[in-house]
A = this chain, B = another copy of it.
């Protein structure tokens, strides 16, 4: 077919790539779609995602263009300027490859900037994962993207209602379930001790016995990220059990959190006291990540994987602080404040409880296929119009 629909997928973080891999694969194979991958931001930096470019090439996908545009600093200024530079460069990329649709994923700060640029170039914008509520700047970013987007693929019923309430046309809002959970549901591989301990630094962790997984990202709208991290460290230390600790995302606040972790590790490599059971990992492939979540006794921190993937996997979760505040979550999640004792107590309770039955709040079969089908066939438009939820006859609550 001569006139394929050009679908541009800007990827800026390993997390988005991981959860979107089946979607990218299906877009790539679709006879009526010409997939355009654009890379920028954190995904291009070795230390966060060394193997992704190779994986992309192995998948037979062509990268249309890639831009180095992460400004160092790990603070808010660097974050804001990274977003601006990313959008400026993606504008050139869009101008050059002229997509029909730009797919915006999630709620990372640079994705709003990219959506803005796409909107100004009159592209049809498809947004995946709108309508959720959380804390952090992600909350603002996500809804602002919704108001720029033309097609909405949300992951749960609550999100659908919110997107429509915000004035989006219900004909273009689809609850497809979560791509993360689709990926999680599809992973069958298991993880060996040898494999997991080939990543990162620190002590070997025996994953055939109970261990914790800690993932605590900075909350960009808070100023005491370092202290919050140290609270978690003390709580984990107190629990005195093996733990796999993931380095935080490169968002504002990363600098101080990473320094805190580094200092911690330095101390720990000299004296191997209470903290001598931790391994620090930057990044593992998505299937091994899921296998890890499956095996872990309890996930601690503030990652959305705790809320979403673990709802399906049934892994107990202790969710700390405001980052996921308000997000729809299953019974497997216990929420705590930034309080050492409260965290330790919650983890102990979860360990006693053990695994939960799988929940389908974020799951629908064939999420990626549903999205691809819509992207391939839906009529495209660019001029948005506020759609009064009441007038549209939609019951929004």
Chain A residues proximal to chain B, CB less than 8 Å: 44-46, 65, 67-73, 75-81, 83-85, 87-89, 91-92, 95-96, 109, 112-113, 116-117, 119-122, 133, 135-137, 139-141, 143-148, 162, 165-167, 201, 220-222, 252, 255, 259, 266, 269, 322, 325-326, 382-386, 388-391, 396-397
Contact = CB atoms under 8 A, between A and B. Distances in A.
Contact of A167 (B44, B113, B166): B166
Contacts of A396: 389-390
Contact of A385 (B76, B80, B326): B326
Contacts of A89: 89, 92
B84 A165 contact: no
Contacts of A70: 71-73
A388 B78 CA distance: 33
A124 to B, nearest CB: 11
A103 B144 CA distance: 17
A121 B386 contact: no
Contacts of A68: 71-73, 75, 77-78, 81
B386 A65 contact: no
A121 B77 contact: yes
Contacts of A384: 139-140
Contacts of A259: 46
B146 A83 contact: no
A146 B386 CA distance: 13
6 closest residue pairs by CB, A with B:
A390-B397, A84-B88, A80-B120, A143-B147, A144-B147, A70-B72
Contact of A71 (B72, B77, B96, B165): B72
B133 A220 contact: no
Contacts of A113: 84, 87, 113, 116
21 contacts: A44-B73, A68-B72, A68-B77, A68-B81, A72-B72, A79-B120, A80-B87, A80-B116, A83-B120, A84-B91, A112-B116, A120-B252, A122-B221, A143-B386, A144-B145, A144-B148, A162-B167, A166-B166, A166-B167, A201-B266, A390-B396
A143 B166 CA distance: 9
A89 B143 CA distance: 24
Given A84-B91, A269-B269, A143 B120 contact: no
A122 B76 contact: yes
A321 to B, nearest CB: 11
